[in-house]
Amino acid sequence: MAYLISLSREIVRKRRLILDLAKADFRKRFVGSYFGVVWMFVQPLVTVLIYFFIFQVGFKSTPPVAGASYLMWLVPGIVPWFFFSEALNNVTNCLQEYSYLVKKVVFQVEILPIIKLISCMIMHGFFVLIMLIVYLVSGRRPMISWLQIIYYSFAASLLTLGLGYFTSAVNIFFKDMAQIVSICLQFGMWLTPIMYDASQFSDYPWLDGVLKINPFYYIAAGYRDSMLTGAWFWERPRLMLYYWAVTVVIGLLGLKVFKRLRPHFSDVL
């Protein structure tokens, strides 16, 4: 607990440095690229179009929310997943990427995953803006519940950070960790009801409970509640308590592993 309090104080004290490094990291992605930021949107948009044609045009999938097209139902589920998967991949590799900072004795390496996370959140902000535009163009009137996107983005960030502290620390000593994370994210996308709804499997009523074991279920459902139904986060109390309990445990374990392995980072790098 003392370590967590000390880290929190360090983050507050160096908040300006963290923001500056996060902005620099975001800009660095587009250095030497002719189309620059355009490439950040191409793959996600192509992914959305592929799922749209497969599930709505091909399988004629009907969203469980009345009056919503499949695209309007898909986007709030897949936008937070893009953020989560990109951020976790980037955080996992951040210590190698910034190895020159890790080797500096005076540098607080715990802020490197936070820098990567904020950099990915900047991109996530653009996707949230696109999502809002899609809804407005589709004729949806703005709802006060849309503001909950801030809460669910914060919740997803803490889960990502907790996992990222663990994976980034282990990745220094076990280089295959990055590949394992990538494979797990591929499975995770299908284990989260993003392209489909659990109600489609009415013959297997136990499946909904199994899917809810995945903590990201709460985030995807929360984005859809916020954008489509107007339901508030406290209307899923059991799921909310489960999510935060899992997130806190993952965060504490991730920090513990990171702290234990930190003295050996510079030796390995």
Main-chain dihedrals φ then ψ at residue 214, nearest 5 degrees: -70, 115
Distance CA(80)–CA(156), nearest Å, equals 8
pLDDT tens, residue by residue, 97-112: 888 888 876 778 889 9
Distance CA(185)–CA(191), nearest Å, equals 9
pLDDT tens, residue by residue, 158-209: 999 999 999 999 999 988 899 999 999 988 888 888 887 777 776 777 787 8
Give the predicted TM-score (pTM) of the model. Answer: 0.89
pLDDT tens, residue by residue, 26-75: 888 776 666 666 777 777 777 777 777 777 666 566 666 766 788 888 88
Distance CA(236)–CA(224), nearest Å, equals 13
Amino acid symbol at 222: G
Residues in the chain: 269
Start-end of H helices in 52-107: 70-92, 94-97, 99-102
